Structures are given as structure tokens and as C-alpha cells.
Amino acid sequence: MEKAQCRYCPADAIYTRGHEGASFCSKCFRKAVEERVRRTVTENDMLKFNDHIAVAVSGGKDSLTLLNLLVKMENRFPRSKITAVSVDEGIRGYRDEALDIARKACEKLCVEQFVVSYHDLFGITTDEIAGMHLGQTPCSHCGVFRRKAINRAAQMVGATKIATAHNLDDEVQTVLLNMLHGDPWRIVRSGPVLHDPRGKFLTRIKPLCDIPEKEVVLYAYLNGFDFQSITCPHGNAALRNDIRNFLNQLDQKHPGSKFTLQRTAERLRELLSQTAPVAELNECAKCGDPTPHQLCEACMMLDAIAA
Ligand SMILES: [Zn+2]
Ligand SMILES: [Zn+2]
């Protein structure tokens, strides 16, 4: 079989985009990913020339790709700053390895890394929560704690924005997950930019939200990034896993489905945001963080664990 040629140069192609049929050589593929991320950042007005971005870096392929891309982009803006923030959830044999990979990547890029731990912030680790056998997996606790830990870390380093490495697959999975949970308002509170109109939370941006997961993997691999490839020993939330498999099958049979779902979510967001209630925020009675309730979600979970 004859090898396909790159659409943009005479080199042999190494990858074909199912949804648009275009083939790319290694160099042109990397350029295409970088251009797409730049476009996402510009179209969504994600960055200002003097932002201090806290990049959530776990040591996985997504976060290392994001960190490398943002460092490349911010080189042109001398008044901007990047700090990597990493969270140690306390998962032995897993997070310690990833943190080490993240540390080395930061050193290579000359980016400062700031690490916060569940142990220090919440007095408990994910391994300890898993050992209590509260539910099927400790993922629900871990997700809430991680969000809070990243917020804390970003505030501690004085960041003006938080960048997370959610890719297209993550975003579409979350939309379907919210639908299956019967929570349409959560769709409003998702998307490429999460801006709190009350100004109580730092703005969160997701520059990789238009890049499919398999392209992030390929980009990381072609650039020779060292990244953690083992999965969390506590497993993944079962429903999200089923949605992931379903979406991959769908996209294989009907290329472009993930993009279509994302565009649909974007329209829903626009429509729903006009009627979505904006809850008033109180200060959490325990930790002082903004919350629509008496206690924030993390403190409620910690109370339930202690009970
Ligand atoms: Zn090429
Ligand atoms: Zn709290």
C-alpha cells in the first residue's frame, strides 16, 4: 500500500484526522495542534498579556502538553508569568512518580513548581479515604478536593488565572455525565472559560478543550515528553468510563461526533446561561471559601468522613 502524503508538505503522513480526512506528517501535525490551541485561546479571550497563570500540572500527558504549549506561547509576552501547581493526593506508587515527572518537566522549562498536598490541606489522603470503603471508589472525594487544592495553590502563588488540561474528550464526557445526572445547570458552569461573575473564584481556562485526547497523546509522544502512563490504582468513576467507551465507539463509526456534541453543548450553554440562577455566595463556616451553602462541598465531605 502506498503511503499517504502530508497535506501540507512532501513528507510521509503519520496521522489522519478522521473528521476532516486530512493527513499530517509529524512536523505539520504538531504545528496544527499548536495553531488550534492558539485559536482556542484567542477566540475565547483566555489570556491577557500580563496574566500570571497557575497551570495545573499532574505529570500526565495532558498537563505536560499544556505546560509546554503555554510556555511556548507566553514567551512572546514578557510581562506574563507561569507557575505550575501540582497536587499530592497521597496515592502511593502513583502520584509520587507523577510528581517526580512533573518536577523534571518544570526544571527543563525553567518554570517554578508549587506543590500542595491533601495531607496538609485536609488532614487526610486519598489512600486513607479509599481504605475507609465509603463508596465504590474515592473519585468523588478526590475530584472535589483536587479542585479546592488547585484553587488554594493558585491563590497562594498570587495567580490571576488557572489553566487546566481538559481535552475535547474530557469536556464532552462531562456534558453527557451532567445530562445523565439530570443536572443541566452544571452544563452552564462548564466550557472553555469558567468565569465567576461574582468575582469570588479565579477564572479557569481550558486551552486544550478543542484537541481530541488521541491527538494530545500523539503530540506528547512526538515531542518526546516523559509522562506518566499508569492509571490511578483506585480506578475511575464507573459511569465516566462507560461514557468514554461509548463516545470512542461513536466517534470511530461517525468521525466528528465529539466535535458536534461540543458545539451542541456550547449552544445549550448560551441558551441556558440567560435563565440560569446565579447563587449568592456565603463564606464556608469552616474554611472561609466561597460557597452557596453553609459549608463548602469539601468541608461537608470531610465532616461526613469524620462522622
Ligand atoms: Zn507535513
Ligand atoms: Zn469549607
SS3 assignment, position 159: coil
Q: How far is the CA of 193 from the centre of ligand 2 (A)?
A: 24
Q: How far is the CA of 236 from the centre of ligand 2 (A)?
A: 25
Q: What is the pLDDT of residue 147?
A: 93
Q: How far is the CA of 289 from the centre of ligand 2 (A)?
A: 6
Ligand nearest to the CA of 8: 1
Which residues surround the ion ligand 1 when the cut-off is CB under 5 Å? 6, 8-9, 11, 25, 28
Q: Whole-angstrom Cα distance, residue 18 to residue 11?
A: 19
**Which one-letter DSSP state was computed for residue 162?**
E
Q: How far is the CA of 57 from the centre of ligand 2 (A)?
A: 24
Q: What is the pLDDT of residue 130?
A: 85
Q: For every one of its 307 residues, what pLDDT tens digit does the chain have, with 9 covering 90 and above?
A: 567 899 999 999 999 998 888 999 999 999 999 999 999 999 999 999 999 999 999 999 999 999 999 999 998 888 999 999 999 998 988 888 999 999 999 999 999 999 999 999 999 998 888 888 776 678 888 889 999 999 999 999 999 999 999 999 999 999 999 999 888 888 887 899 998 888 888 999 999 999 999 999 999 999 999 888 888 888 777 888 899 999 999 999 999 999 999 999 999 998 888 887 777 889 999 999 989 899 999 999 999 888 8
Q: How far is the CA of 156 from the centre of ligand 2 (A)?
A: 17
Q: Whole-angstrom Cα distance, residue 176 to residue 243?
A: 7
Q: How far is the CA of 253 from the centre of ligand 1 (A)?
A: 27
Q: Whole-angstrom Cα distance, residue 212 to residue 169?
A: 6
Q: How far is the CA of 296 from the centre of ligand 2 (A)?
A: 4
How far are the Cα atoms of 35, 85, 112, 222, 223 from residue 31, in angstroms, in the given order? Answer: 6, 27, 26, 12, 11
Q: What is the pLDDT of residue 213?
A: 96
Q: How far is the CA of 167 from the centre of ligand 2 (A)?
A: 29
Q: At the top level of CATH, which class does the domain 32-276 belong to?
A: alpha beta
**Element holding 116 (H helix, E strand):** strand 112-117
Kindly report the pTM of this predicted structure: 0.93
118 sits in the region (left: phi over 0; alpha: psi -120 to 50; else beta) called alpha
Q: What is the pLDDT of residues 12-33, one digit of tens each?
A: 999 999 888 899 999 999 999 9
Q: How far is the CA of 294 from the centre of ligand 2 (A)?
A: 9
Ligand nearest to the CA of 281: 2
Ligand nearest to the CA of 152: 2
Ligand nearest to the CA of 10: 1
Q: What is the pLDDT of residues 95-127, one digit of tens each?
A: 889 999 999 999 999 999 999 999 999 999 988
Q: What is the pLDDT of residue 2?
A: 63
Q: How far is the CA of 261 from the centre of ligand 1 (A)?
A: 29
